[in-house]
């Protein structure tokens, strides 16, 4: 499997082929800028890296299996020189990546992780899409923008939230929201939360299964339950079984207490210490 350094070198080498005009775009532009969840670089078992997408506008670039070239228009303000390589600005790169794969849920996840990586804001990308009405794939981009802005930090979190919205049809949840007890102590920052019911959902990856991380997860879930918050968990391959996850969500929500605000043992009101504490930890 290729390393992060190998992926970076792959993009660098192909980007350096640009001579007269053009830019690396899509997943490669976003990954080169530090957004690690962009996996256009997903490789086969033999370690072969995906071709680097390059947009050239009117310019020409010799064909090569290591690149995918498009001659769509490219405005001068849509490209920047990053570490010696011409790359599309984040909004254009994200727009191109969504249109490349053409899948709504992945497009929403694209937006979520690009925003989480600090490359652009949700509002910035929403404005970019609104200004590109005649473009191919604009319908998908509009639909993705309408669903995005959830505040997810990873693709798996975004996929879980979309099952809650689209398949379980339970409305729009809060994502990565901090929950406090009535004395202002942090209970947990949960992946998904519905305040009305008091139902929380967590995605648990492979790194949560053993050792100290697992012990912390157990203690965290106990704190949530002690506060009257009902929890469900999604793990590994669960996300490929939409019906299973949807049923699990409905079951947890049915068990939830639906307490009135005055009867709750938790609050979403942030104490004075929280903003500085969270910022120091990158939350």
Backbone angles phi, psi at 90, to 5 degrees: -55, -40
Sheet containing strand 230-235, edge to edge, reads 230-235, 199-204, 186-194, 174-181, 266-267
Q: For residue 210, what pLDDT is reported?
A: 59
Considering only CA atoms, which of 75, 90, 98, 91 is closest in space to residue 22?
Answer: 75
184, pLDDT greater than 90:
yes
Q: What are the structural domains of the chain?
A: 4-147 (no CATH), 155-280 (3.40.960)
Q: pLDDT per residue over 116-136, tens digit each?
A: 999 999 999 999 999 998 899
Q: Looking at residues 132-141, what average pLDDT do you find?
A: 92
Q: For residue 47, what pLDDT is reported?
A: 58
259, pLDDT greater than 80:
yes
Plot region of 202 (φ>0 → left; ψ -120 to 50 → alpha; else → beta): beta
Q: pLDDT per residue over 2-31, tens digit each?
A: 677 888 898 999 888 888 899 999 999 999
265, pLDDT greater than 50:
yes
pTM: 0.91
Q: Looking at residues 173-183, what average pLDDT do you find?
A: 97
Q: For residue 257, what pLDDT is reported?
A: 97
Q: pLDDT per residue over 206-246, tens digit each?
A: 555 655 677 887 888 999 999 999 999 999 889 999 999 99
Contact in structure between 111 and 103 (CB atoms under 8 Å): no
Q: For residue 1, what pLDDT is reported?
A: 54
Beta carbons within 8 Å of 160's beta carbon, 6+ residues apart: 191, 192, 201, 203, 234, 239, 245
Mean of all residue pLDDT scores within the chain = 90
């Amino acid at each position: 499997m290729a390393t992060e350094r190998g992926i970076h070198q792959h993009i660098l080498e192909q980007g350096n082929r640009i001579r007269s005009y053009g830019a690396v775009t899509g997943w490669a532009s976003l990954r080169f800028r530090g957004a690690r969840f962009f996996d256009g670089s997903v490789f086969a078992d033999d370690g072969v890296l995906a071709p680097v997408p390059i947009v050239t506008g009117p310019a020409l670039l010799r064909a090569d299996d290591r690149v995918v070239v498009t001659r769509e228009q490219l405005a001068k303000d849509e490209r920047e020189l990053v570490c010696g390589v011409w790359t599309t600005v984040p909004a254009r790169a994200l727009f191109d990546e969504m249109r490349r794969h053409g899948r709504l849920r992945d497009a929403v996840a694209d937006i979520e992780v690009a925003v989480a990586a600090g490359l652009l804001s949700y509002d910035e990308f929403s404005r970019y899409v609104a200004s590109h009405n005649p473009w191919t794939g604009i319908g998908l981009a509009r639909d993705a923008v309408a669903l995005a802005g959830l505040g997810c930090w990873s693709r798996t979190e975004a996929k879980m939230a979309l099952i809650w919205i689209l398949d379980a049809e339970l409305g729009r949840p809060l994502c990565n929201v901090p929950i406090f007890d009535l004395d202002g102590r942090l209970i947990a920052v949960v992946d998904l939360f519905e305040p009305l019911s008091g139902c929380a959902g967590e995605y648990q990856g492979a790194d949560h299964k053993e050792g100290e991380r697992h012990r912390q997860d157990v203690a965290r879930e106990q704190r949530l339950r002690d506060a009257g918050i009902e929890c469900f968990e999604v793990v590994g391959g669960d996300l490929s079984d939409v019906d299973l996850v949807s049923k699990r969500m409905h079951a947890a929500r049915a068990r939830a207490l639906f307490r009135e605000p005055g009867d709750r043992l938790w609050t979403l009101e942030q104490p004075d210490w929280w903003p500085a504490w969270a910022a120091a930890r990158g939350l």
